[in-house]
Chain A
Amino acid sequence: MSTIPFTNDASDQPWVLPYRGTIGIYCLIASESAMFSIFVIAYLYYLGKSLSGPTPRQVLELPIFTTVCLLSSSITVHLAVNGLRHRKLPAFKAWLAATVFLGSVFIIGTGLEWYKLIYKDGLTLQTNLFGTSFYSLVGLHASHVMVGLLMLSITLVLALMGKVKQEHADRFHTLSLYWHFVDAIWVVVFTVVYVLGR
């Protein structure tokens, strides 16, 4: 019986494996995407099948401003990751705060839109098929935005307390990947609900 390592591999290269946070979040993104696609399919399938009004064309308006906010928060979170990686902590904190702000603007925008739909247009989840599938799909996305905002805000508080350092860059990068995913889903939801669906 020989001991390990019993022989050195001639082709021995440094043994580098991917960071587990990155792989883990990609797995989560894969399964979340599958879940969103079912809600998107349901929305498309039920488009125009409602037996009563209101219809999407009557009540939906293009949320251009909030969309711009959410999509640009992807840029700010990327800049925040870069700041942390290169130990530019003030830049990191500023970009992170900007991300939280832009995400909050988006969620407030969604809230105002829902307020208008419910109280002015009388569209609730129970009204018709459009209401059911619209609130479910947009609500599923909004809940993901809120989870992301919660985690970003916790990071921001910790950063302001000086507890986030350069060695946490990999972890923060994992969180930023989730945020990018939430933005990418919004591109799909926006296209399906507000562009194709109107």
Chain B
Amino acid sequence: MADSLPISGTLDLTRAPAPKRLALEVVHDWITTVDHKKIGLMYIASSLVFLAVGGFEALLMRIQLSVSNEKFLSPQTFNEMFTMHGTTMIFFVAMPMLFGFANYLVPLMIGARDMAFPRLNAFSFWIALFGGLLLYFSFLGGNGLYGDGGAPLVGWFAYAPLTARTFTKGNSTDYWALGVLLSGIGTIGTALNLVTTTLCMRCKGMKLTRMPLLVWLILITAGMIFVAIPPLSAAQIMLLIDRYVGGHFFDTQAGGSAIIWMHFFWIFGHPEVYILVLPAFGFANEIIPVFSRKPIFGYQAMVAATVAIGFVSLSVWAHHMFTVGLGADADTFFVLSTMIIGIPTGIKIFNWLATMWGGKLRFTVPMLFCVAFLFQFLIAGLTGIMMAVAPFDWQLHDSYFVVAHFHYVIVGGILFCLFAAFYFWFPKMTGRMMSDTLGKWHFWLFVAGFHLTFDFMHVPGILGMPRRVYTYEAGRGWDIWNLVVTIGAFVQLIAIVVFVVNLIRSLSSGDPAGNDPWDAWTLEWATTSPPPVYNFATEPIVRSRRPLWDLKHPEDPDWKYE
């Protein structure tokens, strides 16, 4: 087997110890592991569970909104659903899913054996997971021992002074604050680990300018996390001081400010969008070249554009606050900074197109998801530019147009890239291929459901339907659009069911993948599928951005041209 590997000598050929049989031993193995691959898989698995829960909450809301004057959910339950849906999807689905892939792939891609701090890695995962469990425990413990229980219902951004003890009694808001605080600690720990791993653990020859773009983008993302997540943690600590010790940070009656919570939250909240989308860009950066049979177009420009996005995204937060009345000067600044971010993002779109241009395209499932991502992310960006214009935002702020816009980014952009990553790296993680037929069903159903839901969600927004209303009266022209949106949500549900079936079936009976099923170029494909615990028995030596291309084509290696 070792001879068939692209890099011979990658594997230790001494006999492995007999595989463990006892279920308890297996569980013990997973709970105590510090192996970056196992932690990465646990991140992904836990976020899939939370994805199912968060999706279920979204479906409940869509049933409630499908027709006017519906009584399917009570107003309180509806508030709980949108709070939990948003919090779950951002903190316990998107972040851990991206971290799962980052954990799994970064050490493999830079030719390292593990992360820089393996135990910190395990700690970060478990504390984030228990943050999620704490959040969901609120369904039982939210009103304290003597109440009925209730989940947080203050919205995922928890605007003050609604979060003060006076206005939200019981413990629901505390579960929200503590759950998110714990997840933030885990996030910072993992980001610290990823930066240190990238800077200190690269194999010989893996200069910064030779790293795969995914590693670059995760490095920049992690850097942004250091600036973006701690403000949220600080704000959560202030909120807890207010709620438990009787502080006045957001207590408007004692002179405290509700606006400053908005600032603190969005100083975190807007960079967060880019923290989520940059790794997704990274997946596209790895997948599109492989299925275009061309190296990525404009490697340096891609890195530079990412750094630019990272910097500019730190100065755009108040475009979430145009309706607050910050004054013309502040509004103008944030309009301009928000629009400027379109430039580096546009550079990226053009680079992906140029990579595909003249390439020998192979429309496998991961590539399909990436192509759909390109179209959808473009539209999401364009509605973003529309919203960046302050007067336009005054008209549509807090309407379903905004909801449609950011779901276009998060589902149409990030989730599509995540699905692409699933189909692309599943063979490496498990040694088996995912079914192509089911994958295409998943793709087309999901595209149909996505567009039914989120294309048509823009319309009731323009017609004036506000966010977070739990029902609406008939005859406003919103009914038909809401019904279409709800139907689309159920089409997405069918697509996700197909995906889960594909996942489970492929796990047990997928075609064997081999080590390098896509004929790819980065180091993770140079070891077995799944990789051994130590990743590489001998440290690889890298001379170009596509080490496996060099090995497969010794007559025409990349390093002659770089």
Residues of A within 8 A of B (CB): 1-7, 9, 15, 17-20, 23-24, 27-28, 30-32, 34-35, 37-39, 42, 45-46, 49-51, 125-126, 128-129, 132-133, 136
Q: List 16 A-B contacts (CB under 8 A).
A: A3-B9, A6-B550, A6-B554, A20-B196, A24-B192, A24-B196, A30-B223, A38-B234, A38-B267, A46-B257, A129-B254, A129-B256, A132-B241, A132-B247, A136-B238, A136-B249
Chain B interface residue bracket vs A: 35 or more
Minimum CB–CB distance for B215 against chain A, Å: 14
Q: Contact partner of A136 among B8, B231, B247, CB < 8 A?
A: B247
User: B226 contacts the other chain (Cβ, under 8 Å)?
Assistant: yes
- 7 shortest A-B CB distances, which residue pairs? A35-B230, A38-B234, A34-B230, A132-B247, A126-B246, A27-B192, A30-B226
CB neighbours of A6 from chain B (8 A): 550-551, 554
Interface residues as binary, B169-197 with A (CB distance below 8 Å gives 1, 0 otherwise): 00000000000000000001001110110
Q: Decide: A125 and B551 in contact? CB cutoff 8 A.
A: no
Q: Decide: A23 and B241 in contact? CB cutoff 8 A.
A: no
Q: Decide: A125 and B247 in contact? CB cutoff 8 A.
A: yes
CB neighbours of B199 from chain A (8 A): 17-18, 23
User: B235 contacts the other chain (Cβ, under 8 Å)?
Assistant: yes
Q: A125-B245, A128-B254 are in contact. Are A24 and B226 (CB under 8 A)?
A: no
Minimum CB–CB distance for A180 against chain B, Å: 18
User: B327 contacts the other chain (Cβ, under 8 Å)?
Assistant: no
CB neighbours of B541 from chain A (8 A): 4-5, 9
User: B460 contacts the other chain (Cβ, under 8 Å)?
Assistant: no
Minimum CB–CB distance for B372 against chain A, Å: 35
Q: Contact partner of A38 among B6, B9, B235, CB < 8 A?
A: B235
User: B7 contacts the other chain (Cβ, under 8 Å)?
Assistant: yes
List CB contacts (< 8 Å) of B65-124 with chain A. Answer: 116-117
- Compute how far the CA of A49 lies from the CA of B199 in the bound complex, rounded to whole angstroms: 45
Minimum CB–CB distance for A181 against chain B, Å: 13
Q: Decide: A34 and B226 in contact? CB cutoff 8 A.
A: yes
- Compute how far the CA of A132 lies from the CA of B202 in the bound complex, rounded to whole angstroms: 46
Q: Decide: B249 and A132 in contact? CB cutoff 8 A.
A: yes
CB neighbours of B538 from chain A (8 A): 4
- Compute how far the CA of A166 lies from the CA of B342 in the bound complex, rounded to whole angstroms: 52
Q: Decide: B254 and A51 in contact? CB cutoff 8 A.
A: yes
User: B293 contacts the other chain (Cβ, under 8 Å)?
Assistant: no
Most B C-beta atoms less than 10 A away, residue of A3, A6, A34: A34
Q: Decide: B249 and A9 in contact? CB cutoff 8 A.
A: no
Q: Nearest A residue to B256 by beta-carbon distance?
A: A129
User: B26 contacts the other chain (Cβ, under 8 Å)?
Assistant: no
- Compute how far the CA of A42 lies from the CA of B117 in the bound complex, rounded to whole angstroms: 34
CB neighbours of B254 from chain A (8 A): 50-51, 128-129
Q: Decide: A46 and B226 in contact? CB cutoff 8 A.
A: no
- Compute how far the CA of A38 lies from the CA of B234 in the bound complex, rounded to whole angstroms: 7
Q: Decide: B257 and A34 in contact? CB cutoff 8 A.
A: no
Q: A4-B538, A9-B205, A23-B199 are in contact. Are A42 and B260 (CB under 8 A)?
A: yes
Minimum CB–CB distance for B406 against chain A, Å: 24
- Compute how far the CA of A27 lies from the CA of B541 in the bound complex, rounded to whole angstroms: 28
Minimum CB–CB distance for A14 against chain B, Å: 10
Q: Contact partner of A31 among B229, B241, B248, CB < 8 A?
A: B229
User: B505 contacts the other chain (Cβ, under 8 Å)?
Assistant: no
User: B543 contacts the other chain (Cβ, under 8 Å)?
Assistant: yes
Q: A6-B551, A126-B247 are in contact. Are A1 and B6 (CB under 8 A)?
A: yes
Interface residues as binary, B415-433 with A (CB distance below 8 Å gives 1, 0 otherwise): 0000000000000000000
Known: A125-B246, A132-B241. 20 other contacts (CB 8 A): A1-B6, A7-B543, A20-B116, A20-B196, A23-B116, A24-B117, A24-B192, A27-B192, A28-B192, A30-B227, A34-B227, A35-B234, A37-B231, A42-B260, A46-B256, A46-B257, A51-B254, A128-B248, A129-B255, A132-B248
- Compute how far the CA of A128 lies from the CA of B247 in the bound complex, rounded to whole angstroms: 8
Q: A17-B200, A129-B254 are in contact. Are A42 and B249 (CB under 8 A)?
A: yes
Minimum CB–CB distance for B307 against chain A, Å: 16
CB neighbours of A9 from chain B (8 A): 205, 541, 543
Q: Nearest A residue to B246 by beta-carbon distance?
A: A126
CB neighbours of B540 from chain A (8 A): 4
- Compute how far the CA of A34 lies from the CA of B195 in the bound complex, rounded to whole angstroms: 17
CB neighbours of B226 from chain A (8 A): 27, 30-31, 34
CB neighbours of A28 from chain B (8 A): 192
List CB contacts (< 8 Å) of B2-61 with chain A. Answer: 6-9
- Compute how far the CA of A182 lies from the CA of B456 in the bound complex, rounded to whole angstroms: 53
Minimum CB–CB distance for A177 against chain B, Å: 14
User: B264 contacts the other chain (Cβ, under 8 Å)?
Assistant: yes
CB neighbours of A27 from chain B (8 A): 191-192, 195-196, 222, 226
CB neighbours of B223 from chain A (8 A): 30
Q: A3-B8, A5-B541, A45-B260 are in contact. Are A24 and B116 (CB under 8 A)?
A: yes
Q: Decide: A1 and B8 in contact? CB cutoff 8 A.
A: yes
Q: Decide: B200 and A18 in contact? CB cutoff 8 A.
A: yes
Q: Decide: A31 and B234 in contact? CB cutoff 8 A.
A: no
CB neighbours of A23 from chain B (8 A): 116, 195-196, 199-200
Minimum CB–CB distance for B163 against chain A, Å: 15
Minimum CB–CB distance for B335 against chain A, Å: 23
